[in-house]
Amino acid sequence: MEPIIAVRDLRKIYHVGEVNVHALRGVSLEVPRGEFVSIVGPSGSGKSTLFHVIGALTSITSGQVIVDGQDLSLLSDSERTRLRRQKVGFVFQRYNLLPTLTAQGNIEIARYFGGKSGPLEKDFLDILRLLGIEHRLRHKPRALSGGEQQRVAIARALVNRPAILLADEPTGNLDTENSEAVLSLLRSLNQRFGQTILMITHNPEAAAFADRIIQMRDGRVVLES
């Protein structure tokens, strides 16, 4: 079976004035469908750049990135946008919820941009119950705790049933109790629904929730465990 993510000799150079910043230096990795992978490393190691490349948020300098069978370098801008909306869900450290919308409104607007309409599917209602927010959907973000807001953000990322969930420091703004709850939920989503998850974290305890840990340093993969 082909991996859902395949990265081969990936290089990314940012041009800052007359300086070339080598963010990724020949990264290669594969993620099988349904795996939960953590990417760890110090600031500046290339974790976020790799995240943005796999999520079709930024272009590459050289190499190859294949996401769910599509070579990103061969896609037009509109095709990359469609892939992001339909195949990739994003969860960030900042919840990025729209303050004027309820939790349900935040979820439904993502569904709309994914090209879907009508009642939520039954299996997604099961996800809402797993996340424990089915009774909080009518509340706006200001009435929700940090942990609840992050759960709404996860639900929003999953509403279009993306093949891949990319989570960038998803517990960075949460206390220990809520962090453990969110990580346990991600693990449950992976185990119960086969959701492929790629999570960036600086926290070794958070990384341990994954099936595999990839360590990066200076734009390279230095260790897998």
The amino acid occupying position 117 is: S
User: In whole angstroms, what is the distance from residue 150 CA to residue 171 CA?
Assistant: 8
What is the mean predicted confidence (pLDDT) over 185-198? 94
Q: For residues 158 and 161, give the distance between their C-alpha atoms in angstroms, rounded to a whole number.
A: 5
Q: Strand pairing partners for 207?
A: none
> How sure is the predictor about 182, in pLDDT bands with cuts at 50, 70 and 90?
very high
Question: Residues 6 or more apart from 30 whose CB is under 8 A from it?
Answer: 3, 5, 6, 7
Q: Where are the beta strands (DSSP E) in the chain?
A: 5-16, 19-31, 36-40, 62-67, 70-71, 88-92, 164-168, 196-200, 212-217, 220-224
DSSP code string of 116-160: --SSPPHHHHHHHHHHT-TTSTTS-GGGS-HHHHHHHHHHHHHTT
Residue 75 has pLDDT above 90, yes or no: yes
pLDDT of residue 14: 94
What pLDDT does residue 123 have?
77
Structure tokens at 186: 């991600």
Contacts of residue 126, defined as CB under 8 A and 6 or more positions apart, other chains included, come to none
Q: Please indicate whether residue 112 or residue 210 has the higher confidence score (pLDDT).
A: 210
Binned at pLDDT 50, 70 and 90, residue 189 comes out as very high
The average confidence (pLDDT) of the chain is 93
Residue type present at position 64? Q
Quote the pLDDT of residue 183.
95
- The DSSP code sequence of 184-204 is HHHHHHHHHH--EEEEE-S-H
The per-residue pLDDT for 78 is 93
pLDDT value at residue 133: 93
Superfamily of domain 32-60+75-224: P-loop containing nucleotide triphosphate hydrolases (3.40.50.300)
pLDDT band at 152 (very low <50, low <70, confident <90, very high): very high
Which of 63, 41, 45, 38 is CA-nearest to residue 53?
Answer: 63
For residues 216 and 126, which has the higher predicted lDDT (pLDDT)?
A: 216
Q: What is the structure's pLDDT at 79?
A: 94
Task: State yes or no: pLDDT of 113 exceeds 90.
Answer: no
Mean pLDDT computed over 170-183: 92
Write down the pLDDT at residue 122: 77
What would the pLDDT profile of 14-67 be if each residue is shown by its tens digit? 998 889 999 999 999 999 999 999 999 999 999 999 999 999 999 999 999 999
Question: Count of CB atoms within 10 A of residue 16's CB?
Answer: 8
CA distances from 200 to 37, 110, 140, 209 (A): 9, 22, 28, 12
* Contact (Cβ atoms closer than 8 angstroms) between residue 53 and residue 24: yes
Give the C-alpha separation, 116 to 103, whole Å.
Answer: 18
Domain ranges of the chain: 32-60+75-224
Question: How many CA within 13 A on the CB side of residue 173?
Answer: 16
> What is the pLDDT, as a whole number, of residue 68?
95
Residue 165 confidence class, pLDDT cut points 50, 70, 90: very high
